[in-house]
Homo-oligomer: A and B are copies of this chain.
Amino acid sequence: MPASDDKKAGKRVRVTIIDVAAKAGVHVSTASRALSQRKDHRISASVVRKIERVAEQLGYRPNLLASGLRTQRTGSIGLVVPNLGDPLFAPIIASVQERAAQNGYVTYVASSDYKPDKLLSIIEIMSRQSVAGLVVASFDLQDPAADRCLELDIPTVAVLRDPCHPGLSSITMDDESGVREVVEHILDLGHRSIVYITAPLAASTARNRLAGFMAVAEREAAAGCRFDVIEADTYDIEEGERVMGRLIGSGLPWTAVICFNDLLAVGALVALKSAGIACPDQVSVTGVNNLPFVSLLSPSLTTLHNAGREIGLQGADLLMTLIENGDNAVRRVLLPSRLVRRDSAGPAPPTLAAAGPGRSDQGQRAVRRQRTRPSARGGVSGQHVGAGG
């Protein structure tokens, strides 16, 4: 009774279930059962009503720390992305958070800054917070962090980048066939000297997009086409400018540049503009991701639409089933990407185009097989793929 008065007097003491039980004249276990979500609680309706009324009246707010401690399960999940500033991750963050919230979960977010050890330490920290599960968008291939998630027994879904770990489910885009479609499109436009700017090959996205590029390159080996690959060190606009700057000064022949992502492509456009090279009249540029603003640029960017929101929703959904059903089946979902044709990719300029007009032309240049699984990161950096002769 006096304790109850303390609360009402505003002494800023958190009201617990003990207070509720006391005021309702029942045992705390009864109050707990009555307030529980599970409705198999063997408590008479009248008592439930009374307890609910008292709880409401006292402003009872359950302490989820205590609850989580007792039940070994919490209402929070973690989301790790490589870069919180990259607009690519905004829809993923938004959709994961949204879907988690719909299921009663709150979401921690953290940025790994593309560093595997930072990812490891984030996982460590989140595990100490007893997260119920993890959505990770920053796994490298063979990432030790993937093993760690399984060791720690944390339900985990990989999104966007697949570590290709036998025990982990993933939701990713079909990068390989996406980029293949881009290259086909560029070939259809008549281009015969094509450069692909890849990202560091630590991530599955980079490998798979490169594989898509190489697949077409190999097939067109005998068709008089030239394919080169340059490796960018980061993923941002500035790096796109730098790489394109190097390419312009390299003396390589090319009329089209396919970029790993939109940001590199935008940087490439900037570099082209300042070099006075017209896009798409002289050269074509494409990106990947279809970031919200690339349709507004001049020229508007031809790119692959990657459904970040869909990835986030499906990733969160999958995590929920992992958590709540204890379902351990490993799923690998591949979402289709869609080519968005805009202005930055146009017909190859006749004067600069390679040999003939048709794709089936005989050519003297062959594509040398590019290792798509090089052991070291810098494997293809600046390397010339389509060797002369």
Give A residues with C-beta under 8 Å from B. 12, 61-66, 68-69, 74-76, 83-87, 90-91, 93-94, 97-98, 101, 106-111, 124-130, 153, 266, 269-270, 292-293, 296-298
Tell me whether B107 and A110 are in contact (CB under 8 A): yes
Q: Which residues of B contact A76 (CB under 8 A)?
A: 108, 129
A-B contact pairs, 26 of them (CB 8 A): A61-B124, A61-B127, A63-B130, A64-B128, A64-B130, A65-B69, A65-B74, A76-B108, A84-B94, A84-B97, A86-B90, A93-B93, A93-B109, A97-B110, A106-B126, A106-B129, A108-B108, A108-B109, A109-B109, A266-B293, A266-B296, A269-B296, A270-B296, A293-B296, A297-B298, A298-B298
Complexed CA–CA distance, A65 and B94 (Å): 26
Shortest Cβ gap from A86 to chain B (Å): 8
Tell me whether B111 and A98 are in contact (CB under 8 A): yes
Q: Which residues of B contact A69 (CB under 8 A)?
A: 63, 65-66, 69
Shortest Cβ gap from A77 to chain B (Å): 10
Complexed CA–CA distance, A111 and B69 (Å): 27
Tell me whether A109 and B130 are in contact (CB under 8 A): no
> Considering only CB atoms, which chain B residue lies closest to A291 in the complex?
B293
Shortest Cβ gap from A119 to chain B (Å): 13
- Most chain B beta-carbon contacts within 10 A, residue among A12, A63, A106, A126: A106
Of the residues B64, B87, B101, B125, contact of A87 by C-beta under 8 Å: B87
Q: Which residues of B contact A111 (CB under 8 A)?
A: 94, 97-98
Tell me whether B108 and A106 are in contact (CB under 8 A): yes
Shortest Cβ gap from A31 to chain B (Å): 16
Shortest Cβ gap from A317 to chain B (Å): 18
Q: Which residues of B contact A153 (CB under 8 A)?
A: 12
7 closest residue pairs by CB, A with B: A84-B94, A298-B298, A293-B293, A65-B69, A64-B128, A65-B68, A85-B94
Complexed CA–CA distance, A26 and B91 (Å): 50
Given contacts A85-B94, A97-B110, A106-B126, 17 further A-B pairs with CB under 8 A are A63-B69, A63-B130, A65-B68, A65-B130, A76-B129, A84-B93, A85-B91, A87-B87, A87-B90, A90-B90, A106-B110, A106-B129, A107-B109, A107-B110, A108-B109, A109-B109, A266-B296
Q: Which residues of B contact A74 (CB under 8 A)?
A: 65
Q: Which residues of B contact A130 (CB under 8 A)?
A: 63-65
Q: Which residues of B contact A85 (CB under 8 A)?
A: 90-91, 94
Shortest Cβ gap from A347 to chain B (Å): 22
Q: Which residues of B contact A90 (CB under 8 A)?
A: 84-87, 90
Shortest Cβ gap from A291 to chain B (Å): 8
> Considering only CB atoms, which chain B residue lies closest to A121 in the complex?
B101
